[in-house]
Amino acid sequence: MTKYLAFDIETRKIIPDGSSNLNSYRPLGITCAAILPSDTLKVAVFYGVDSDGRISDQMSPKEAANLVNYLSNKVDEGYKILTWNGLGFDFDILAEESGLTDECRRLALDHIDMMFHVFCELGYGVSLDRAAKTMGLSGKEEGLSGALAPRLWAEGRQQDVINYVIQDVETTLDLALICEQRRQLRWTTRRGTIGELKLPKGWLSVRNAMNLPEPDTSWMTNPWSRKKFLDWLNK
């Protein structure tokens, strides 16, 4: 069986409500990250520490680089990194914060981003929470979100954010495994119907998903391009 390593970060900068262009607020900073291996299920949490040994506002470039090196070492040990939108978000931000762009590119291309796989198949994204709950998992805790996490961190509620990022990697790993077992992903659409994607070969890495034929998106008003997720790899 594949040894997975579920990975997720939370960012520091508070984004105004309703804003969808995160890039206009960069750099975003990283407050914390969680990594969960499928074989041990022992989560590792990363965050910055100040000179007094307390949790800092955000991870320093050196601390972010240590996170990259940890991930690289785990890949060398045979793990396959697993994310939900890690290509278009987590690894892009981690590259900027750590300065290790080349290494983050390699990690991003070789890992499994389930959301990117779905996007390459269908031409649109799917919510992790909607997919998890439709597949019979508990999903995200009500009242918490990635958009709210920076506000909570700034208010001193670091443990709430750490608990949230841990829950995200647990949900990511659980969803990956149950979908592989059933060879399909199901989710509830905004219209309340059930969407379904067959996974006859399981989840694809970013490199392999990129080679899938482009789906027909002529029915969509403003379809996303794969460049939305891939552009940072060429910077």
Domain range summary for the chain, segments of one domain joined by +: 3-234
pLDDT at 23: 83
Taking the C-alpha atoms of residue 181 and residue 187, their distance in angstroms, rounded to an integer, is 16
Tokens read off for 203 = 């989840």
Phi, psi dihedral angles at 33 (to 5 degrees): -145, 155
pLDDT at 34: 98
Nearest partner of 210 among 229, 224, 223, judged by Cα: 229
Q: Answer whether 19's CB lies under 8 Å from 44's CB.
A: no
Taking the C-alpha atoms of residue 114 and residue 126, their distance in angstroms, rounded to an integer, is 10
Q: Tens of pLDDT along 109-153? A: 999 999 999 999 999 999 999 999 999 998 877 666 778 899 999
- Class level of CATH domain 3-234: alpha beta
Taking the C-alpha atoms of residue 117 and residue 112, their distance in angstroms, rounded to an integer, is 8
Q: What is the pLDDT along the chain (235 residues), one digit of tens a residue?
A: 799 999 999 999 998 877 778 888 999 999 999 999 999 999 999 999 999 999 999 999 999 999 999 999 999 999 999 999 999 999 999 999 999 999 999 999 999 999 999 999 999 999 999 999 999 998 877 666 778 899 999 999 999 999 999 999 999 999 999 999 999 999 999 899 999 999 999 999 999 999 999 999 999 999 999 999 999 998 7
pTM (predicted TM-score): 0.95
Q: Answer whether 114's CB lies under 8 Å from 175's CB.
A: yes
